[in-house]
């Protein structure tokens, strides 16, 4: 009897915890289908009225494309740089390897606000204007430690031995990297890429500080928020959330396949 009660209590606890995490998002999604002008109860939908408005809003669709551009571009760059750094540190033992690793990982402890301010000062100094490029560079800076850490963890001694076997059979450095290391790391490379892309997609602080005319979707939403709540904003937010969830699901799928192949 007490075992049944315990099982029931643990399920209930799980339900409450999940509700706590997802309730705000669920409410956001629900009220994007609101009929009336205010995204507050009572719910009078469902209606696609506000979704149609979002899709017709140039500011939002432009922001969406800008976000995709910055997200995919900065993620590709962060993944390539992260791979090169991880490969070098995993394969070429150096006296200062520990220091390099620390320096590569350190930005993860610095708040985006501080990094954004630093970038702003640096770009001012260099005469670089605020632009999507500036946002992209900022996102590479914040995502590089993550892509590096993910890829470094996948470059173990077993992989090194597989590379050694390729060298032994006559492969050059370039062929080992392109034909052995990269294909072997493919799932991890894709996972790193999608994590970086997702974080860039959601990122607001740096995108806000680094942008002027071309802005990303989170910045568009923020500027719309200043004129008050509207179901249109809910729809825009739901869009951001849905694309993030898709990317995260993709990452999980890739990592699951990588783990299965590793066995």
166 makes contact with other proteins (CB under 8 A): yes
175 binds other proteins (CB under 8 A): yes
Token pair for residue 132? 């999507």
Select from 96-104, 131-139, 164-172, 229-237 the region that touches other proteins (CB under 8 A).
164-172
Residue 87 vs 208, nearer CB to other proteins = 87
Q: Does 164 bind other proteins (CB under 8 A)?
A: yes
Tokens at 55, concatenated? 């899709």
Question: CA-based diameter of the chain, in Å?
Answer: 73
Confirm or reject binding of residue 259 to other proteins (CB under 8 A): no
C-beta of 24 vs 168, nearer to other proteins: 168
Asked if 256 is part of the footprint of other proteins (rule: CB under 8 A), the reply reads no
Sign of CA dihedral 225, 228, 230, 234: positive
Q: Which of 170, 174, 212, 228 contacts other proteins by CB under 8 A?
A: 170
Tell which one of 122, 167, 245, 252 touches other proteins (CB under 8 A). Answer: 167
Which residues, including other chains, have CB under 8 Å from residue 12's CB and lie 6 or more apart? none
178 binding other proteins? (CB under 8 A): no
| Residue 94 makes contact with other proteins by CB under 8 A | no
**DSSP string covering 175-190:** HIIIIIIHHHHHHHHH
In whole angstroms, what is the distance from residue 212 CA to residue 203 CA? 16
Does 183 engage in binding with other proteins (CB under 8 A)? yes
Q: Is 102 in the site for other proteins (CB under 8 A)?
A: no
In contact, 134 and 211? CB cutoff 8 Å: yes
Interacting stretch for other proteins, rule CB under 8 A, among 12-20, 41-49, 158-166, 197-205? Answer: 158-166
- Residue 216 main-chain phi, psi, to 5 deg: -90, 170
What the block records as the tokens of 229 is: 């709540």
Sign of CA dihedral 176, 181, 184, 187: negative
Q: Is 4 in the site for other proteins (CB under 8 A)?
A: no
The answer to whether the beta carbons of residues 141 and 78 sit under 8 Å apart is: no
Q: Which is nearer to other proteins, 81 or 255 (CB)?
A: 255
Q: Token pair 């590089």 is at which residue? A: 144
Among 92, 96, 126, 161, binds other proteins (CB under 8 A): 161
Q: Where along the sequence are the contacts to other proteins (CB under 8 A)?
A: 158, 161-162, 164-172, 175, 180, 183-184, 186, 261-263
């Amino acid at each position: 009897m007490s075992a049944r009660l315990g099982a029931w209590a643990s399920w209930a606890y799980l339900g409450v915890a999940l509700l706590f995490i997802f309730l705000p998002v669920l409410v956001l999604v629900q009220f994007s289908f609101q009929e009336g002008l205010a995204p507050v109860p009572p719910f009078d939908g469902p209606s696609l009225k506000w979704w149609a408005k979002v899709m017709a809003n140039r500011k939002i669709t432009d922001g969406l494309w800008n976000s995709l551009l910055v997200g995919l571009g900065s993620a590709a760059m962060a993944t390539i740089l992260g791979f090169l750094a991880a490969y070098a540190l995993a394969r070429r033992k150096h006296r200062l390897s520990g220091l390099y690793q620390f320096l590569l990982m350190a930005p993860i402890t610095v708040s985006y606000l501080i990094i954004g301010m630093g970038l702003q000062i640096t770009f001012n100094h260099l005469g670089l204007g605020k632009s999507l490029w500036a946002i992209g560079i900022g996102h590479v800076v914040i995502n590089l430690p993550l892509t590096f850490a993910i890829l470094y963890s996948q470059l173990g001694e077993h992989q090194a031995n597989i590379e050694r076997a390729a060298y032994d059979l006559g492969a050059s450095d370039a062929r080992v990297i392109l034909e052995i290391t990269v294909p072997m790391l493919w799932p991890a490379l894709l996972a790193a890429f999608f994590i970086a892309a997702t974080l860039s997609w959601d990122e607001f602080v740096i995108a806000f500080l680094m942008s002027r005319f071309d802005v990303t979707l989170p910045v568009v939403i923020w500027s719309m928020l200043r004129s008050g709540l509207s179901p249109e904003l809910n729809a825009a937010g739901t869009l951001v959330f849905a694309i993030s969830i898709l990317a995260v699901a993709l990452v999980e799928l890739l990592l699951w396949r990588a783990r299965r192949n590793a066995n």
